[in-house]
Chain A
Amino acid sequence: QKEVEQDPGPLSVPEGAIVSLNCTYSNSAFQYFMWYRQYSRKGPELLMYTYSSGNKEDGRFTAQVDKSSKYISLFIRDSQPSDSATYLCAMRAGTALIFGKGTTLSVSS
């Protein structure tokens, strides 16, 4: 079993939809949970991170962590064509940062 599981998609939604992206994990030692966005032919850029459990909101983006279920989510409200990218979850325990495979999202206008 991989430490971090993420459905690669692709996920296609119309503009304005609410998008839910998810990852599950097996290592209960993970403390920091991050979401990166990667546009085609670019490097990943950090969207937001959460420490331990709870929610964090930044504009149209909300990150949720449920440590009891070992499940994290990223919600995108009012999705825009500019949100079309691959979204990678990443988790840290100590010095190691473990990435999911990424979910490819396409938002059509």
Chain B
Amino acid sequence: EADIYQTPRYLVIGTGKKITLECSQTMGHDKMYWYQQDPGMELHLIHYSYGVNSTEKGDLSSESTVSRIRTEHFPLTLESARPSHTSQYLCASSGGLGAGELFFGEGSRLTVL
């Protein structure tokens, strides 16, 4: 079982609030990712990092920001949440070898009222 953890699992907040979704992995992986998943839709990459102090935006535009100060930690922040941010956010990491398969956390389901 992969050792990647996300908190909170579920969050319901009001519009305009600042939120941070936490993601930590204990596998020593350099590469970490944030995906957004909506019902019936593909996983879309919103942010990724190939190491400490390295962050890039993915193929889906997002108003969220990320940071990578420590290898094991990759938090995602929304400065001012809106109902359009309601979604499931999945964090993943990869050792980068071979197929570069991703190990996912259990997800953070965000609902913005």
Contacts and interface: CB of A to CB of B under 8 A. Distances in A.
A92 B33 CA distance: 15
Given A4-B42, A8-B40, A100-B42, A42 B101 contact: no
Contacts of A95: 100
B100 A97 contact: yes
A43 B105 contact: yes
Contact of A99 (B40, B42, B100): B42
Interface string B33-47: 000000011110100
Given A32-B99, A34-B99, A45 B40 contact: no
Contacts, number: 49
Contacts of B109: 41
A49 B104 contact: no
Looking at chain B's contact residues, is the secondary structure mostly helix, strand, loop, or mixed?
loop
B74 interface: no
Interface residues of A, number: 24
A49 B99 contact: yes
Nearest to B2: A45
A43 B59 CA distance: 20
B74 to A, nearest CB: 14
Contacts of A46: 101-103
Nearest to B91: A43
A43 B107 contact: yes
B66 interface: no
Given A4-B42, A34-B101, A43-B90, 9 more contacts: A2-B42, A34-B99, A41-B107, A44-B43, A46-B101, A46-B102, A95-B100, A99-B42, A102-B42
Interface of A: 2, 4, 8, 32, 34, 36, 41-46, 49, 51, 88, 92, 95-102
Interface of B: 2, 6, 40-43, 45, 59, 90, 92, 99-107, 109
